[in-house]
Amino acid sequence: MKMWIALHGGSDHAWNNWTRSLSVWLQDTVTAVATYEGGAIKMAEFCYRYQTNSKEPPRKERLRSPFVMDGWLTHPNSGFQRADKLSGPQRAELHSLLSNRPQEMLRASHGDFTVAVWEESSQTLYIGSDGYGTRPIYYWKGPSNELYVSNDLRALLHAEAVPFAIDYERCAMYLSSQYAVGENSFDENTFFQEIKKVPDATLSVWKDNRLAHRSYWGIEDLAQLPMLQTDAVPLFRERLIEVVNERLYHEKTILEVSGGLDSAGVLAAALAGGNRERILGVNISFAGDDMIQSHDRDVVRKLFQDLQLPGIIILGDNTLRIANAELGRDPLWYLDGPDPRANVLVNEMYNALANEFQTDLGLTGEGGDFLFSGEHYVLDSLLRQKKFKAFGQALWEWADKSLSRAVKLGFAYGIAPFLPGLNNYLYYKLAWADTVCEMPDYFTQTHLNRESRSKQEDYQRYAKSQPLKYWGRRYHYDYTWPRASYLDAVGVSMQNMHPFYDRRIMELSFSVPTEQHYDLKRGKVENYYGTKMLIRKAFTDILPPYLYDRVTKTSYAHMARKSLQNEKRNLLQLFDRSGEVQLHTLGVIDKEKFWDHLVGTLIRSTDVNNDLGMSYQFLRAVIDMEIWLQEMSRGRHHVLERAKPCNPRWLADVELIGESRRPQHLAR
């Protein structure tokens, strides 16, 4: 893992205090420190692990070039570059590329990275995020025109000048449907006042004490992509193998294999690329009989066996809890609001496993749902491509050969997308209106008014995708942006990489006509059965039919139900009506009504047939936000101590598949 920091315009005293504070904080886990101090600009990189070292002093060096980086990237001129293996000449080459032609350099680069470079002659600091912002960059502009920047919010908060001030309006907005249900991120904003984030696909330029954001890739580029007129499967297979192989540069990388199509596609690409020995397949499942519907343990076990691939299944029953429902019980590694990951504790178990195999690199299938699901927005695509015969056949089949139904479907999904007055209205109504949820009655009128404003903004946001024209393209775009809130969190303790968010894969997705993403005929059997046709077809020579041809998607509702049961006592204590409830004090919820709702939900959670419905999303958001606010109320020093990298706990039993090396933890 690597933290980097940069300071422009600050004093030597401020810089020394910042680096000293970080060095002390990381003293048990840091392995290397590199610094650059060149007048107006100061930079540093801290390499560390979530594992205490043997008290050996960290390796220290001076950076010869004012360039810091996290992750990896590939560029036509520099080739493949890893932040953890940069030599002096490689760093100098990247410094030259980024400082001379920063916009062009970032646009031509691919990877999971954050970078910052100082160009001395123009007195300019360039800061760059990757195409989807898979790793965050935080910054704060001070009153004396100083700029503090870091790829880790915890590192930024170690600077004394940076205020530790909660943005309470942002906390309240987190409980609106756009964020609690839609799980969207706040783009440039954070949960701390004045602390901002660099947007995805952005070159940020700090010059003359002003910061300007310049997008180097976005919707305009996607709108200009021509539609492929040939079968996209071979190209998708080739491209996915390429981007997966680039990310398998370590001796061992953990691949999260859920049993679904997305992670299976990444696994198949790794195998097709000849990287069998570099991957460790890990699955999260449960041993309890009441959890059998919320995991694919049998499917994944059979998959590992059929592929003759060693793997590990985490039996995560003990992780089905809500992080820090008992305040102070669990690590607080992620600070920018409540940790949005579905199961924070099982992620800690992933860390423990990673340490056993001497790696901190992970590979995920994140993004497959957003970019390759497709849905049934096929008809306007066929008309725009002048495939009139295919349009008629698809419509007639979809309408069950009913003329009246064919007329309705043909107008709504085929003709309306061409009519300016109806296009945006029907697109929103048919694609997104059913995601609008009724707010629970424990929210105050003030918050309900906030929700109304949020819904108006949401409708306007969907209209921004109109340049893409094709409803299938628009759906993919509006599903993918704004970025999901969990993306920043999944990289806080492991270097998780996401092949589907590689810009080359994203551009391919938007170049593929909707009818190749989604099969209307299969979708009539079950919607999921019609989705992700590229992933299903690309690796039939590697994946077994029970996986690439699966009909339904596993529900994780029982995980939510079990987590509530396991935290019943702590939740009742957290929202005790006789004590202070932060969200009640802020005027967001009525604590009396919320108590009644919480008790009712805890009772319903004992019913194995009750999936709790959409109201659980709001309930969980309230719980997570209350926990976070109470943690933050204890102040900066307390929070940073709780957020310190440390040894992850071994929280679950595991099942070993095949010839997987037995973790030392089990051997002991």
Please name the residues in contact with 530: beta carbons below 8 A apart, sequence gap of 6 or more. 374, 376, 518, 519, 520, 521, 522, 523, 524
SS (H, E, C) 425-486: HHHHHHHCHHHCCCCCCCECHHHHHHHHHHHHHHHHHHHCCHHHCCHHHHHHHHHHCCCEHH
Integer Cα distance of 152 and 48 in angstroms:
13
> What does DSSP assign to residue 236?
H
Please name the residues in contact with 636: beta carbons below 8 A apart, sequence gap of 6 or more. 157, 164
For range 184-193, the mean pLDDT: 90
Q: Convert the pLDDT of each residue in 201-238 to its tens digit.
A: 999 999 999 999 999 999 999 999 999 999 999 999 99
Count of residues for the chain? 668
Tabulate helix, strand, coil % of the chain (nearest 5). Answer: 45, 15, 35
* Residue 436: predicted pLDDT: 64
* Residue 173: predicted pLDDT: 94
Q: Which range among 36-40, 366-370, 611-615, 649-653 shows the weakest confidence by mean pLDDT? A: 611-615
For range 127-143, the mean pLDDT: 97
Q: Convert the pLDDT of each residue in 508-528 to its tens digit.
A: 999 999 999 999 999 999 999
What value, to the nearest 5°, has the Cα angle with vertex 628 and ends 624 and 630?
Answer: 120
Query: Do residues 303 and 547 touch, judged by C-beta distance below 8 A?
Result: yes
Helices (H) and strands (E) in the chain, counts: 31, 19
Query: Do residues 613 and 620 touch, judged by C-beta distance below 8 A?
Result: no
Which CATH code fits 228-367+494-503+534-548?
3.40.50.620
Integer Cα distance of 390 and 476 in angstroms:
22
Percent of the chain with pLDDT over 90: 86
What value, to the nearest 5°, has the Cα angle with vertex 326 and ends 607 and 446?
Answer: 80
When the pLDDT of each residue in the chain is averaged and rounded to a whole number, the result is: 94
Say yes or no to pLDDT of 377 above 80.
Answer: yes
Q: Convert the pLDDT of each residue in 421-466 to its tens digit.
A: 899 999 999 988 766 678 999 999 999 999 988 888 777 888 899 9
CATH 3.40.50.620 in the chain, residue ranges? 228-367+494-503+534-548
Say yes or no to pLDDT of 7 above 70.
Answer: yes
The first and second tokens of residue 469, run together, are 């024209």
Three-class DSSP category at 594 = helix
Three-class DSSP category at 45 = strand
For range 357-384, the mean pLDDT: 93
* Residue 665: predicted pLDDT: 64
Integer Cα distance of 150 and 45 in angstroms:
10
Which CATH code fits 2-165+189-217?
3.60.20.10
For range 370-389, the mean pLDDT: 94
- In degrees to the nearest 10, what's the CA dihedral of 619, 623, 625, 628? -170
Query: Do residues 183 and 340 touch, judged by C-beta distance below 8 A?
Result: yes
* Residue 662: predicted pLDDT: 64
Q: Convert the pLDDT of each residue in 296-332 to its tens digit.
A: 899 999 999 999 999 999 999 999 999 999 999 999 9
* Residue 595: predicted pLDDT: 97
CATH 3.60.20.10 in the chain, residue ranges? 2-165+189-217
Q: Convert the pLDDT of each residue in 42-93 to its tens digit.
A: 999 999 999 997 678 899 999 999 999 999 999 999 999 999 999 999 999 9
Integer Cα distance of 652 and 649 in angstroms:
9
> For residue 403, how many other CB atoms are within 10 A of its CB?
9
Under the banding of pLDDT at 50, 70 and 90, the label for residue 359 is: very high
Integer Cα distance of 283 and 273 in angstroms:
21
Backbone angles phi, psi at 405, to 5 degrees: -70, -35
* Residue 666: predicted pLDDT: 58
> For residue 409, how many other CB atoms are within 10 A of its CB?
18
Distances (CA, A) of 605 to 323, 340, 346, 561, 564: 18, 21, 21, 5, 7
Say yes or no to pLDDT of 252 above 50.
Answer: yes
Say yes or no to pLDDT of 661 above 70.
Answer: no
Backbone angles phi, psi at 257, to 5 degrees: -110, 105
Please name the residues in contact with 541: beta carbons below 8 A apart, sequence gap of 6 or more. none
Percent of the chain with pLDDT over 70: 98
Query: Do residues 532 and 373 touch, judged by C-beta distance below 8 A?
Result: yes
For range 242-247, the mean pLDDT: 98
> For residue 434, how many other CB atoms are within 10 A of its CB?
8
Report which of 3, 38, 51, 9 is spatially closest to residue 23, judged by C-alpha positions: 3
Say yes or no to pLDDT of 356 above 90.
Answer: yes
